[in-house]
């Protein structure tokens, strides 16, 4: 059974800091890994998708890495802004049809 | 191109009533997935459907829950005789085909927040 763990559960940083969110998983047989952002009371917004053959993906101030051998992914956010405040979810695609989600890291960026 | 639509956005039911949650996938998407998110937890897979077929319902509770995706119209998640523990956010996602490749990403709707009194 795939277990997905996200650490820390909550993080509060001052504006402008670079930060790293962590995601670890127990089963390395994955198709891809995806990072989402969830705003309070809202749905999920896809941020980055890393296929199992890739090691990282970048979009703007975001960089996500994948190390299957160690069962880890990180989401790096550069020069954080108050608008980055949200819950960040890591999700693994192991089978064709389902995601395995972590419980998220709740980020607060203080102005 | 409208995204995944879910309605209602908020639903309040009393214990013992039925809840019907609707999901309209993105245009051109024929695969629908339902997830449940309990407070302060991540999303948990419930069921995967294609038009008129249930492909994987391994995450569905054995009783009171059912899902369908008819040939015409939205996908429906139905919860009979709701209990307080059913209170959660229910998210629907859709994809073009089989998820798991860069061309078949799952796109999520805004969710339906069910409150059982």
Phi, psi of B40 (to 5 degrees): 65, 20
Write out pLDDT tens, residues B54-96.
Answer: 988 989 999 999 999 999 999 999 999 999 999 999 999 998 8
CA–CA gap between residue A98 and residue A21 (Å, rounded): 23
Do B88 and B111 touch, CB atoms closer than 8 A? Answer: no
Smallest Cα distance from B17 to chain A, Å: 24
The residue ranking higher by pLDDT, A94 or A65, is A65
Residue A76 pLDDT more than 60? Answer: yes
The DSSP-derived string for B43-77 is EEEEEEEETTEEEE-TTS-SSSEEEE--SSS-EEE
Write out pLDDT tens, residues A10-65.
Answer: 999 999 999 999 999 988 777 788 999 999 878 889 899 888 888 999 999 999 99
Check CB contact under 8 Å for B106 and A99. yes
In B, minimum Cα distance to A5 occurs at: B42
Write out pLDDT tens, residues B1-48.
Answer: 578 999 999 999 999 999 999 999 999 888 999 999 988 788 999 999
Chain A residue numbers touching B43 (CB-CB < 8 A): 44, 89, 91, 99, 101
Check CB contact under 8 Å for A99 and B98. no
Residue B100 pLDDT more than 60? Answer: no
For the beta carbon of residue A2, count every other beta carbon within 10 angstroms: 15
């Amino acid at each position: 059974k795939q277990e997905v763990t996200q650490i820390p559960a909550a993080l509060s940083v001052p504006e402008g800091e670079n930060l790293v969110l962590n995601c670890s998983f127990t089963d390395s047989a994955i198709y891809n890994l995806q990072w989402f952002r969830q705003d309070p009371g809202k749905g999920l917004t896809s941020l980055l998708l890393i296929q199992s053959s890739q090691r990282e993906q970048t979009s703007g101030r975001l960089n996500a890495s994948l190390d299957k051998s160690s069962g880890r992914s990180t989401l790096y956010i550069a020069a954080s802004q108050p608008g980055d405040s949200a819950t960040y979810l890591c999700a693994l695609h192991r089978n064709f049809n389902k995601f395995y989600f972590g419980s998220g890291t709740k980020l607060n960026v203080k102005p | 191109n409208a995204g995944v639509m879910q309605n209602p956005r908020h639903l309040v039911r009393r214990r013992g009533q039925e809840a019907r949650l609707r999901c309209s996938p993105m245009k051109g998407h024929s695969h629908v997935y339902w997830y449940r998110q309990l407070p302060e937890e991540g999303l948990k897979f419930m069921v995967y459907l294609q038009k008129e077929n249930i492909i994987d319902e391994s995450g569905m509770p054995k009783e009171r829950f059912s899902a369908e995706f008819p040939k015409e119209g939205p996908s429906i998640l139905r919860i009979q005789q709701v209990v307080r523990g059913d209170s959660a956010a229910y998210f629907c996602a859709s994809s073009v085909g089989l998820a798991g490749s860069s061309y078949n990403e799952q796109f999520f709707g805004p969710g339906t927040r069910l409150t059982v009194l």
